[in-house]
Structure 1
Amino acid sequence: MKLQHVRHPEALAREQVRQTLRGHTAPAVIDDAVTIVSELVGNAVTHTSSGPLGMFVDLYEDAAVIWVHDGDENPDAVRARAPHLDVDEEIPEHGRGLNLVDLLATMWFVWPAKDGKAVAAAIDLKPDGVSRLGELRIPGREAGCGEPASGTACPGATVPPAVPR
């Protein structure tokens, strides 16, 4: 789905995720996926010069991967911030998005593209958390690529066969 030049890309992306996942998983998982896409699109709006160019969901039998593409070419710029709060400090309003994605997603990673990059988050659709996401192969992952909170860019991936739509 194209998001470039859309007035409210977060709302459009949230609705697309709801429609795509409806009937494939529990409502609580859909809520998590909606939060994830909202954060990823919001980050592209806030932190890239291009804004979000597009978003799509790869739907598999027991997992989904949400992709948000933008035109910025530096995948190393996408990093989760380590929370450093003293007891007396208020929780900051900004800077928590990728930490939230890290908490809700099974994994997330950055994929360099010819015309920018994509930030992707994979989620289990099964209520028991047992899926084939372990079959998601990302070259370089053994060096920390795609690990939660690493924010390390990944050069490519292969995924299990998609569910026919």
Structure 2
Amino acid sequence: MASSLRRLGAALCVPLALTLGGCVAQFQTSQPYTPAEGVNTQVEAMKVRNLMIIANTSGQGVISASLVSGTDDSLASVAGTAQKADGTPGGALTVTPTGLPLALPSNTLLVLTNAPTRIAVSSPDLKPGLLAEVTLTFSKAGPVTMLVPVVSSSEPEYEGINVTG
């Protein structure tokens, strides 16, 4: 009899434990997160996804991001400042844009590392592993400033992106 009660108790505990455990679990997929190295933001109808700088150790790089707007807009300019290792502002980014202003038709994905657009940046303080403050200015949505990671151009996933010219 005692053995039967133990089996019944164990059989009832398993579904109860699974039910209660599921109520308090915080799985990664139930929380918003960015599954990429860059950062995301939205201003007005403009969505900026995976914004980062891909750079070499000489301080030369390119702006990388995907842009989608719910309305016709354009990327008018890019500016920024590299950050030093201690988190203080470093040198201003020298920006050499090719293809700006960039027309952003409504509901069309544009990737900034795809030709003919290329936004080259350089600074003596621009180093992989650090951060940079980048301001993207859109004609309609206005400016958006974000602290973005500087990733190494020598990483395998960025080897096809030319950062020197």
TM-score (norm 2): 0.30
Question: Which has a greater percent of helix?
Answer: 1
Question: Which has a greater percent of strand?
Answer: 2
TM-score (norm 1): 0.30
Larger Rg: 2
